[in-house]
């Protein structure tokens, strides 16, 4: 009997894995059978690669580089200033105040539109009579563009004839949206929530309707009270949808609300509340502070990238176990 050295099953070394990465010899190809042509795949992927390179990577790299420079306002070149644009932004009181408002705005919009969307979805899932009419009425607003919802919101809060302004007047409150900071903040949140409810409703409803009938029936027997049934059975089943929506809603309130703000303050931000994205636009295009605006862009890029990575990691897990 000879001594055979025991061999452990080895995982491929780092270099081998790197080579695999570059050469595309992945152990799990997308398809069992694939075409083996050197040139054809390039023909198919090239248009997208070109567009991504020119309109995504080039500007992104430029945002990062110009965040380290101070552009001469009269267009005479630029000087390298290191991290100055970043420290200027972060240490500015105005920037911090806007960051604070952005966080508050995101929490309010996300919290309200998620909970109202969930409430409506749970009820729409229950009713039988008129279910499709409710559904149609509740998803229609998804189609409306943020600037259009901003315009409608602006009319509803108009100081001469807006119904909401009149309602406030019954209670003896003079509402001044566009002038008073808190009033404007209230109006912005209301419009942003209004616009986002249908999106959350659609996802929650489709999540609820994918719960198998057997589970529902078992739940009806096990838990008599509606609230307990919701808390112990429905909510855990909805958790993946809710997490996905949480990230989408935060991204929405940070970025997609730009148009709502721009329209509702009628292009005159003055001392009205605004979000960080609005400030990037304001400093870059109206203030001509390209370096400062780029530094703020990069800060936002980091925030969104972190959110998206969190979302992907989570989705991946959902795919594995779900």
Partner 1 sequence: MMQRIKPFDHLILILGALFLCMPVVMAFASSTHTAIDIHSNGLYVMPGSNGAETYTKVLTKRGGFTGEVTGLTMLMNSMILGVGFAVGKIVLSMMAAYALVYFRFRFATPIFWVIFTTLLLPLEVRIMPSYQVMSELKLLNTYQGLIVPLLASATGTFFFRQFFKSVPDELLEAARIDGAGPVKFFIDILVPLSRTMMAAIFIIMFIYGWNQYLWPMLMTTDESFFTLMRGIKTILQVWVGSQIPDYNEAFALAVLAMVPPLVVVLVFQRMFIKGLTESDK
Q: Which of residues 193-232 bind partner 1 (CB under 8 A)?
A: 194, 197-199, 202-203, 206, 217, 220
Q: Should residue 167 be labelled a site residue for partner 1 when binding is judged by CB under 8 A? A: no
Binder of partner 1 out of 73, 163, 236, 287 (CB under 8 A): 163
Q: How far apart are CA 258 and CA 256, in angstroms?
A: 5
Of 42-71, binders to partner 1 (CB under 8 A) are 42-45, 47-49, 51-52, 54-56, 58-60, 62-63, 66
Q: Work out whether 12 is an interface residue with partner 1 (CB under 8 A).
A: no
- 271 in contact with partner 1 (CB under 8 A): no
Closest contact distance (angstroms) between CB of 107 and partner 1 is 20
Work out whether 21 is an interface residue with partner 1 (CB under 8 A). yes
130 belongs to the binding site for partner 1 (CB under 8 A): yes
Instruction: Find, among 320, 195, 319, 295, the residue nearest to 249 by Cα.
Output: 195
Q: Which helix (H) or strand (E) holds 243?
A: helix 235-251
Looking at 88-96, 168-176, 230-238, 265-273, which segment touches partner 1 (CB under 8 A)? 265-273
Stretch that binds partner 1, among 81-89, 92-100, 117-125, 169-177 (CB under 8 A): 117-125
For 3, residues 6+ apart whose C-beta sits below 8 A from its C-beta are none
Q: Cβ of residue 53: shortest distance to partner 1, in angstroms?
A: 8
CA-to-CA dists, residue 231 to 219, 238, 245, angstroms = 11, 10, 18
Applying CB under 8 A, which of residues 1, 30, 271, 321 lies at the interface with partner 1?
30
- C-alpha 84: how far from its chain's center? 29
Return the SS3 of 70. strand
**Three-class secondary structure of residue 220 per DSSP:** helix
Instruction: Read off the DSSP letter of residue 254.
Output: I
């Amino acid at each position: 009997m000879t001594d055979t050295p025991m061999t452990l099953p080895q995982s491929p070394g780092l270099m081998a894995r790197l080579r695999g990465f570059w050469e595309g010899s992945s152990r799990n190809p997308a398809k069992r059978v694939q075409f083996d042509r050197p040139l054809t795949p390039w023909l198919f992927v090239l248009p997208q690669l070109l567009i991504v390179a020119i309109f995504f990577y080039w500007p992104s790299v430029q945002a990062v580089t110009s965040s380290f420079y101070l552009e001469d306002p009269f267009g005479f070149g630029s000087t390298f200033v290191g991290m100055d644009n970043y420290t200027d932004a972060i240490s500015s009181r105005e920037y911090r105040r806007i960051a604070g408002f952005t966080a508050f705005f995101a929490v309010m919009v996300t919290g309200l539109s998620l909970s109202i969307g969930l409430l409506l979805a749970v009820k729409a899932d229950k009713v039988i009579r008129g279910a499709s009419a409710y559904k149609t009425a509740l998803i229609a607003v998804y189609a409306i563009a943020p600037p259009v919802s901003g315009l409608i919101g602006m009319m509803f809060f108009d100081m001469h004839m807006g119904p909401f302004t009149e309602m406030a007047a019954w209670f003896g409150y003079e509402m001044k949206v566009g002038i008073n900071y808190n009033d404007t903040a209230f109006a912005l949140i209301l419009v942003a929530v209004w616009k986002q409810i249908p999106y959350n409703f659609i996802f929650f409803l489709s999540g609820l309707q994918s719960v198998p009938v057997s589970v529902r029936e078992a739940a009806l027997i096990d838990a008599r009270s509606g609230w307990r049934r919701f808390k112990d059975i429905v909510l855990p089943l909805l958790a993946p949808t809710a997490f996905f929506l949480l990230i989408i809603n935060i991204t929405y309130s940070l970025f997609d609300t730009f148009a709502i703000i721009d329209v509702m303050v009628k292009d005159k931000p003055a001392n009205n509340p605004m979000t960080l994205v609005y400030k990037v636009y304001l400093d870059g295009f109206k203030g001509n502070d390209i370096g400062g605006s780029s530094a703020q862009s990069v800060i936002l890029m980091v925030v969104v990238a972190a959110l998206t990575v969190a979302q992907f990691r989570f989705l991946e897990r959902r795919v594995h176990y779900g």
